[in-house]
Amino acid sequence: MIIVTGGAGFIGANLIAALNDQGQTDILVVDNLEKSDKFLNLRDLQFADYHDKREFREALRQGRFKETPISAIYHQGACSDTMEYNGLYMMDNNYAYSKELFHFAIDRKIPLIYASSAATYGASTTFTQHPDHEKPLNIYGYSKLLFDRYVQQHRANIQSTVVGLRYFNVYGPRESHKGRMASMVHQLYHQILQTGHARLFAGSGGYGDGEQSRDFIHVSDVARINIALAQQSPPIQGTFNVGTGISRSFNAIVQNLFTAMNRPSQPTHYIPMPEGLAAKYQNFTQADISHLLAIPGLHDRPMTLEQGIKSFVQAKEAGL
């Protein structure tokens, strides 16, 4: 069996789709469907069973999976809302839950691939895996960083694969449920679809209007990387950046969307950044993926923004 936590979410559902493409269907999906529209991500996928997150955590504590053969755990479940200020909830969901799953995995030597985040870098302008560059700006980023450090503290006792993936700006199909936390690619696509034009922030941090830039990676590359890491032999441990290694502007997203949607380009509407946001806004990110590309089986570079947006629009037109 394969376990995918956050399996009804954006990355988790795309990961299950990729596993299905490889013929894998003996999958336990773990999630919280209180936000019920996430079920739409699951309806075309094949898996063996579904557990509510709370039911799953209780099953772990009671040892109900002790005799279950498990080949890999993909821990994608987390609260990813960077505007969530309930620290108690965030630390339980992102830190305590992850520790429970971590100890279960290493005790049974099950490969564990878990979602960290580029939010661990926060205010840094250098995006390499080093404590000097880890400066989270919110409780979400801190919860992810704290678990990365917890795993590192126990590394001497780990004999199986345990890998944390610091996702940069992931976009792709199956993220409609995320609302304001959906990728800018998703949000800009729907702005163009509904109004004919895009809205972006005016210049900030020394960048011109819409020229703030991020490292955008298509979710299919994220799924491919997860699966390849779980299959590593000998086992591998570490924290790795997951991006393209190339920063692209929001203006570039807009232009590529118009091209992929086969629409004539229209002027972008630039709006002032809300008061108070500028101090917490990342004007630039670019993943250093040199360590990731050095891993056997992961030498292929991710899709370019042009390729990824074309694939994204095709998936949208197919109803995903």
User: Which residues are known to be catalytic?
Assistant: 140, 178
Amino acid at 291: H
Task: Encode 225-243: b = buried (16+ Cβ within 10 Å), e = exposed.
Answer: bbbebbebeeebbbbbbbb
- Give just the sign of the alpha carbon dihedral 290, 14, 174, 77: negative
C-beta of residue 82 within 8 angstroms of C-beta of residue 181: yes
φ, ψ at 27 (rounded to 5°): -125, 130
What are the angstrom distances between the C-alpha of 283 and each of 35, 148, 154, 203? 31, 24, 34, 9
First CA to last CA distance, the chain: 26
Q: Is 67 strand, coil or helix? A: coil
Strands in 72-75's sheet, in edge-to-edge order, are 49-52, 27-31, 2-5, 72-75, 112-117, 162-167, 237-242
Q: Is 108 strand, coil or helix? A: coil
The owner of tokens 């279950």 is 68
Q: Report cis status (omega within 30 of 0) of the bond before 234.
A: yes
C-beta of residue 172 within 8 angstroms of C-beta of residue 308: yes
Exposure on the CB side of residue 138, measured as CA atoms within 13 A? 18
For residue 43, give the nearest of 16, 21, 22 by alpha carbon.
Answer: 16
